[in-house]
A and B are shown apart, each in its own frame.
Chain A
Amino acid sequence: MTFPQFAYKNITRNLRAYMAFYLSSSFAVMIFFMFAMFIFHPALETGYMNNIAKKGMKFAEWIIFGFSIFFILYSLSTFLKTRKKEFGILTIHGASPKQLRWLITLENVFIGLASIITGILGGTVLAKFFFIAGAYMVKMEPLQLYFPLEALGITVGVFLLLFILISQFMLFTIHSEEVISLLKGSEKPKKEPKPSILFSVLGILFLGTGFGMSLFAGIDMGSAVVITLCTVIGTYLFYSQLSVWMIQLLKRNKKMYRKGINLLWISDLTYRIKDNARLFFIVSIVSAVAFTATGTLATYKLMFSTAETSYAMEFLSYATNQDEKKQLEFIKEKLEQENIDYQQTIFKAIEARQGPMSYPVLVVSHQDWVKQFPELQAPNIHDGEGIYYGEAKRGGYTIVNGNKTKLLTDDQQMSITLQSIEEPVFYLSDILVVDHNTFRQLEQNHELSTMYGFQFENWKESLEISQEIQSQIVGETFNPNAQYFSKAVRYFETVQLPSLSLFIGLFIAIIFFLAAGSFLYFRLFADLYEERKKYKSLAKIGLSEKEMVKISTIQMAILFFLPFLLAIIETGFALHVLQREGGYFHVFQSGVITILGFLGLQIIYFIIMSHSYNKHLKEYVFR
């Protein structure tokens, strides 16, 4: 038996122990590869993704890589811990440090290669799925699957290096230990941690600073980094220190602590506090990222799903407009050029302002309105009455308040009683229909503006001419004399263009949520063997099946929901910043929806996991 054969057999014959490590590594590779595939996608190379977005994606990729390092390091250290005894035995039988190093390196290369292959295969399959599902969700053409040479190269290269480096690092920690402690290996229990007042205070300070700044400080690049750092450090200290305090508090209450199974699960929490702190920390941060990404996404989605209007193009020409004729000709010319069969609507209106915000409105005579829009069936109105076509609230601001409104023109002011507030008809402006006499009265001192509406099928195909018309009428920025609106342009700007960033957000959210879930999974099943041994001896002295299930369920619930709770709080603050600085309006609502959604997923995940975990335990302990 040569040494590489020994290393090989060591893996194949002890497959179960290696499985968790192998799977978690594969998972990290898979995520990295999927993202790389996305970045190097040819459609995005040539497509409309700008440089900033590309830089952001590259940044995200390296974050994922950093997270992979942490992930692999974590699973490798738990894995090697269970094998310390083996290394001790090998050392005692005369394996030189060089051989040991060789063994561990070989093993890591074996497992590394295997997980790189699995990760890439899994990534390809999942990526296809994501491309389709994501495309469906954000209404985008599905991305083609391609042969990702660059992504392949970078994934294999980076991870191979990582596995070799990590194994060397692990060797370093093993070498520094005495043979005897290696031999005692995992049997040697960890010392009960003592909380440090300094670090607890620091933890509170960091969290407080992070949260406080997100509430009150001005947000720029610098303070965003400070907030993030404070929150991350604070979260770690929170778990590593405050959890110790809390458990000590629990333990001090003897009546509670020494009641039934409490003794078992509380002492177990103490025992694993360090492992738990690390796990809680990673899961909290990763979940917070996922929630925030989704919350932002939901906000975005809400913002452009406001009411639909019926005209494919609208052209509003104010009284001051000298080029009205020319512009109108241009529109018609373009429409005819494309052989578009359109219906035109024209009416005259008066520019005015109304309501608490003095929001611009077009005033139209009832007579004219009923003629142009018989299908709206506007009811008859009297002197001083009106019907409003528009949204009562826009982005958190009240446009129309109640059924009385003050109508303002340049030189007049009158009060109008609103009979009803209806869905908007035009995108460019809200409409206030007043009775003919009132209109006459206003008309005397005002020039009339003209609104043109063009209605036709297949407006999505009119993007090009719409863009031409827009640059003709509005120009680069703004034309005080005329406004133009095209559904096609708006659709492009609000749906197609942000789709990509939405898709990326969704992608990151899902990946990070999966990552948090898998952390929990690997942790649970890495501990399963030790746990079931413990429960078996407890069963001998009379622990019933029900009690065992209860203990393990409590412990799992803590693992699943404590970090979730902190993640929710952190997400709340992140979304608050978004609302305060980014001018997003529906943040609270979408945040709640997002978190409820994730909570639902988490509960389902918890139920499935605790069920299968308890089943494993039961089968082993109470056959």
Chain B
Amino acid sequence: MEEVLQVKEINKIYQGKVAFQALTNVSFSVEKGEFIGIMGPSGSGKTTLLNLISTIDKPTSGKVLINGQDPHQLKKERLAEFRRKELGFVFQDFNLLDTLTLEENIMLPLTLENVDPELIEEKVKTISKKLGIDAILTKRTYEVSGGQKQRTAIARAIIHQPKLLLADEPTGNLDSKASKDVMQTLQMINENDQTTMLMVTHDPYAASYCHRVIFIKDGKLYNEIYRGTDQKAFFQQIMDVLSMLGGDRDDFSTVRL
């Protein structure tokens, strides 16, 4: 299988009065079409890892290869282009622009690429229908619910068919119903378009949608588990690992299913 993402021996040290090693020798790889979850207690280095992969931050040592290319070697302008073309982002707080309508938010990556407006319109239409937000396209961000915002953000993240979709706690700001909608949306995109996805979460329910979940603790890889056919069983497995991880079991809700 083709490997979309390779993380090789990365270390990240935050310099300061007291240097802090956020990540130690983390390596893993993700194959095309895979849906990966990354979990761990707060402070374990999840978000640092995601920032390194998403090229927002640089590793102290080690390599990140996306499609065999090391984005950290790129010049600033090329890096922006790389993010724009190869990566898609979904954030916990949506990061939609209040100044734009939902439709305009979705088309933003394409307008930045100077794609023909008619083609853009067509793509926005298809994708919004797929995600069930076609009725609210002309609304502004403050007129829609959190779940709708997140689905808009997902539409924006995939409209340019990125090689890798990165999601940072996509359900973190959502209630359980909206979380379910969002996760099913992600799953559908993953299955239909074979989009490779990497999601950081501490929500075991969200993680149960993944093919594989990687656990980190104190900046090191702790464990990884694969999902079988049964989502419920996978959820239970995740809960078990989390309790072994030493987090308080009460941290995680068990009432979701």
- State whether these chains interact: yes
Hey, what's the 0/1 contact readout for A190-219 against B, CB within 8 Å counting as 1? Answer: 001000000000000000000000000000
Of the candidates B76, B98, B111, B157, which one forms a contact with A622 in the assembled complex, judged by CB atoms under 8 Å apart?
B76
Q: Are B111 and A542 in contact (CB under 8 A)?
A: no
Cross-chain contact A270 with B89 (CB below 8 angstroms): no
Chain A min CB distance to B108 (Å): 7
> Which of the 9-residue segments B14-22, B112-120, B181-189, B237-245 touches chain A?
B112-120
By a CB distance below 8 angstroms, the chain B residues around A263 are 100, 104, 107-108, 111
- Give B89-125 as 1s and 0s: 1 = Cβ < 8 Å from A's Cβ atoms: 1010001011110001001110110100100100000
A49 contacts across to B, CB distance below 8 A: none
- Choose, from A253-261, A431-439, A519-527, the stretch at the interface: A253-261
B89/A541 in contact, CB under 8 A: yes
Contact B117–A189 (Cβ < 8 Å): no
CB distance from B101 to the nearest CB of A (A): 8
Question: Would you call A258 and B111 a contact (CB within 8 A)?
Answer: yes
Contacts of B87 in A (CB 8 A): 542
Contact of A67 with B by CB under 8 A:
no
- Least Cβ distance of A272 to chain B in Å? 8
Q: Are B80 and A543 in contact (CB under 8 A)?
A: yes
- What total count of A-B pairs have CB within 8 Å? 82
Taking a contact as CB atoms under 8 Å apart, the answer to whether B98 and A189 are in contact is yes
A542 touches B99 (CB 8 A): no
Q: How far, in Å, is A527 (CB) from chain B's closest CB?
A: 13
Q: Is the CB of A537 within 8 A of B95?
A: yes
- Whether B80 and A540, one on each chain, are in contact in the complex, defined by CB atoms closer than 8 angstroms, is no
B77–A544 contact, CB under 8 A?
Answer: yes
Asked whether A189 lies within 8 Å of B141 as measured between CB atoms, the reply is: yes
Contact with B120, one of A258, A271, A539, A543 (Cβ below 8 angstroms): A258
Of the candidates A271, A538, A543, which one forms a contact with B98 in the assembled complex, judged by CB atoms under 8 Å apart? A271
Residues of A230-284 whose CB lies within 8 A of B: 254-255, 258-264, 267-268, 270-271
Docked Cα-Cα span, A254 to B119, in Å, equals: 12
Q: Which residue of the partner chain, among B77, B100, B114, B157, contacts A267 with CB atoms under 8 Å?
A: B100
State A86–B257 Cα separation when bound (angstroms): 37
In the complex, chain B residues 116-157 whose Cβ is within 8 Å of any chain A Cβ: 117, 120, 140-142, 156-157
Determine whether the beta carbon of B97 is less than 8 Å from that of A543. no
Which residues of the partner chain A approach B227 to less than 8 Å between Cβ atoms?
none
Task: Decide: A259 near B111, CB < 8 A? Known: A541-B156, A542-B81, A543-B80.
Answer: yes
Known: A258-B107, A259-B117, A537-B91. A543 touches B141 (CB 8 A): no
B99 near A267: Cβ-Cβ < 8 Å: yes
**Whole-angstrom CA separation of A537 from B98 in the bound complex:** 12
Contacts of B120 in A (CB 8 A): 258
Name the residue on B nearest A184 (C-beta): B142
Q: Which residues of B contact A543 (CB under 8 A)?
A: 80, 84, 112
Task: Give the distance in Å from the alpha carbon of A8 to the alpha carbon of B70 in the complex.
Answer: 51
| Residues in B whose Cβ lies below 8 Å from that of A255 | 117
Report if A371 contacts B (CB, 8 A). no
Taking CB atoms, residues of chain A closer than 8 Å to B56 are 540
* A391 at the binding interface (Cβ < 8 Å): no
Smallest CB gap from B58: residue in A: A623
Is B208 in the interface zone, CB < 8 Å from A?
no
**Given known A540-B54, A540-B56, A541-B84, contact A270–B99 (CB-CB < 8 A):** yes
Q: How far is the CA of A25 from the CA of B142 in the complex (A)?
A: 34
The reply to whether B83 and A541 contact each other, CB–CB distance below 8 Å, is: yes
Q: How far does the alpha carbon of A494 sit from the alpha carbon of B89 in the complex, in Å?
A: 72
Report the bound CA distance from A542 to B113 in whole Å: 10
- State A262–B95 Cα separation when bound (angstroms): 19
Give, as a whole number of angstroms, the nearest-CB distance from A419 to chain B: 71
- With beta carbons under 8 angstroms apart, the residue of A189, A540, A542 that contacts B112 is A542
Are A541 and B108 CB-contacts (below 8 A) given A259-B117, A268-B99?
yes
What total of chain B residues lie within 8 Å of the partner, measured CB to CB?
A: 33
Q: Is the interface of A mostly helix, strand, loop or mixed?
A: helix
Cα of A540 to Cα of B84 in the assembled complex, Å: 8
Please tell me if A534 contacts chain B, counting CB pairs below 8 Å: yes
A541 to B142, CA, bound (A): 21
Does B180 interact with chain A (Cβ within 8 Å)? no
**Which residues in A have their C-beta under 8 angstroms from that of B80?**
539, 542-545, 547
Q: Are B76 and A544 in contact (CB under 8 A)?
A: yes
Query: How many Å lie between the Cα of A308 and that of B83 in the bound state?
Result: 71
Q: Is B85 an interface residue (CB 8 A)?
A: yes
Taking a contact as CB atoms under 8 Å apart, the answer to whether B76 and A542 are in contact is: no
Docked Cα-Cα span, A324 to B120, in Å, equals: 95
Nearest opposing residue in chain B for A547, CB measure = B112
Partner of A189 from the list B91, B107, B108, B142 (CB cut-off 8 Å) is B142
Output the least CB separation between A489 and chain B (Å): 66
A546 contacts partner chain B, Cβ-Cβ < 8 Å: yes
Cβ of B192 to closest chain A Cβ, rounded Å: 22
A540–B77 contact, CB under 8 A?
A: no
Given contact pairs A267-B100, A537-B91, A542 touches B85 in the complex (Cβ within 8 A): yes
Cβ–Cβ < 8 Å partners of A547 in chain B: 80, 112
Q: Which of A261, A262, A542 has the most CB of B within 10 A?
A: A542
**B residues near A546, Cβ cutoff 8 Å:** 77
Residues of B within 8 A of A539 (CB): 80
Q: Which residues on the A side are within 8 Å of B99 (C-beta)?
A: 189, 264, 267-268, 270-271
Residues of A133-162 whose CB lies within 8 A of B? none
Instruction: Give the residue of A189, A259, A538, A542 whose beta carbon is less than 8 angstroms from that of B114.
Output: A259
In the assembly, what is the distance between CA of A264 and CA of B95, in Å?
14
A188's nearest neighbour on chain B, judged by CB, is: B142
Q: Which residues of A contact B156 (CB under 8 A)?
A: 541
Residue-wise interface mask of A (168-197) relative to B, using a CB-CB cutoff of 8 A (1 in contact, 0 not): 000000000000000000001100100000
Residue from A189, A258, A261, A271 having most chain B Cβ neighbours under 10 A: A258
Given contacts A188-B142, A254-B117, A545-B76, A540 and B95 within 8 Å (CB-CB): yes
The minimal Cβ–Cβ distance linking B92 to chain A, given in whole angstroms, is 12
CA A539 – CA B100 in complex, angstroms? 16
B97 and A534 within 8 A (CB): yes
Q: How many angstroms from the CA of A546 to the CA of B79 in the assembled complex?
A: 12
Chain A residues closer than 8 Å to B100, beta-carbon distance: 263, 267
* Interface members, chain A 540-559 (any B CB < 8 Å): 540-547
A300 CB → nearest B CB, Å: 48
Complex A-B: 23 CB contacts under 8 Å: A189-B98, A189-B140, A189-B141, A254-B117, A258-B107, A258-B111, A259-B111, A259-B117, A260-B114, A261-B112, A267-B100, A267-B104, A270-B99, A534-B97, A540-B89, A540-B91, A541-B88, A541-B109, A542-B81, A542-B84, A546-B77, A547-B112, A622-B76
- Kindly list the 7 A-B residue pairs having the minimum CB-CB distance in the complex, ordered from nearest: A542-B84, A544-B80, A542-B83, A189-B98, A271-B99, A537-B95, A267-B99
Could you list 11 further interchain pairs (A-B, Cβ under 8 angstroms) beyond the known A258-B117, A540-B91, A543-B80? A255-B117, A263-B100, A263-B107, A264-B108, A271-B98, A540-B89, A541-B88, A542-B85, A542-B109, A547-B80, A547-B112
Q: Which residues of A contact B (CB under 8 A)?
A: 188-189, 192, 254-255, 258-264, 267-268, 270-271, 534, 537-547, 622
